Amino acid sequence: MNIFVLTGAGVSAESGLGTFRDKDGLWSRFDPMKLATPEAFAHDPDQVHAFYNMRRQNLLSAEPNAAHRALARLEAGLAERGGSLFLCTQNIDDLHERAGAKRVLHMHGELLKARCTACGDTMLWHEDLSVAAPFPSCRHSGGLRPHVVWFGEMPLEMDAIYDALLGANLFVAIGTSGSVYPAAGFVSEARGHGIRTCEINLEPSDNARQFDERRYGEASEVVPVWVEQVLSQKI
Ligand code: OAD
């Protein structure tokens, strides 16, 4: 079986990383238009860097939870059975990788990477970013930004994502509100191609009615149960 899993902030919520749209979520405390757009970065790069520096520090002290670990088991287990997992995440954290996932597509970029706007290269970056920091490979100063996708920018590797989605037997969305496109459109794309769909979330998402199957509860509890059922071929 080939499974396409899309994860969102809900899968990392129990690791202590905030979601965006829940009560007390990041976007209830911070204005995304002032912090997560190219225009905001052009207008006030220090403020944007401070927001992502704070999130990077939080990430460095967070640990993967049982849902991340279960998805890593799913990847290995499907491979042993001749199938595959395509793990696509909207999350910019590295908790899937730290839980053991081998292949993760970060469609909204990665918080632990910096990108030079002059040469376009990226590199691992665990320190605070600042306007003044020079990029080590090209030595250009003043052009460093977090390697993340902002509102108004195109998510990464969309061709590879749609190829994998349309080659899957099952599409599963985990911990995402289904309110940000293009990811929110994957369920209708999958359905349109006759692919079975499943949602795992704390509560029904904006797209809940489009899914064939729905499982609700904390990701750390529901995802491991679902993974064991898939690997024991009860699904
Ligand atoms: P949201 O904050 O919009 O949605 C998180 C979802 O996770 C909600 O539906 C919650 O009910 C659910 N949830 C919360 N805790 C959970 C738990 N313990 N177990 C399971 N589910 C839980 O986050 P995303 O859908 O990921 O983009 O947001 C998508 C994009 O919007 C983000 O990548 C980010 C944001 O703006 C950019 O910054 C460009």
Is the Cβ atom of 90 under 6 angstroms away from ligand 1? yes
Q: Which domains does the chain have, with CATH numbers?
A: 1-17+65-108+155-235 (3.40.50.1220), 20-61+111-148 (3.30.1600.10)
Protein residue with least CA distance to atom 9, ligand 1: 177
pLDDT in tens, 114-144: 999 888 899 999 999 998 888 888 877 778 9
Predicted pLDDT at 234: 63
Say what the pLDDT of residue 235 is: 59
Torsion of CA 70, 169, 110, 154, to 10 degrees: -160
Ligand 1 pocket: which of 17, 22, 151, 221 to mutate (most atoms within 8 A of CB):
22
How does pLDDT run across 76-114, given as a tens digit for each residue?
Answer: 999 999 999 999 999 999 999 999 999 999 999 999 999
Distances 149 to 131, 135, 141, 193 between C-alpha atoms, Å? 18, 19, 21, 28
Position 133 scores a pLDDT of 83
Beta strands of 97-228 (E only): which ranges? 104-106, 109-116, 122-124, 144-148, 170-174, 196-201, 213-216
96 noted as active-site residue = no
% of the chain residues with pLDDT over 70: 99
| Ligand 1 center–CA 9 separation, angstroms | 4
The rounded distance, in Å, linking the Cα atoms of 29 and 25 is: 7
| Centre of ligand 1 from the C-alpha of residue 31, in Å | 16
Question: What digits encode the pLDDT tens for the residues 48-82?
Answer: 999 999 999 999 999 999 999 999 999 999 999 99
Work out whether strand 196-201 and strand 2-7 pair parallel, antiparallel, or are unpaired.
unpaired
SS percent in the chain: helix, strand, coil, step 5: 40, 20, 40
Task: Tell me the whole-structure pTM to 2 decimals.
Answer: 0.97
Within 10 angstroms of residue 154's Cβ, the number of other Cβ atoms is: 9
Ligand 1 in contact with 51 (CB < 6 A)?
Answer: no
Q: Alpha helices of the chain — where are they, by DSSP H?
A: 26-29, 32-35, 38-43, 45-60, 66-80, 95-98, 158-166, 186-192, 219-231
Mean pLDDT score across all residues of the chain: 96
Angle CA 147–148–150, to nearest 5: 135
* Portion of the chain with pLDDT greater than 90, in percent: 90
CA 46–ligand 1 middle distance (angstroms) = 26
pLDDT of residue 189 exceeding 80: yes
Catalytic one of 68, 96, 106, 108: 108
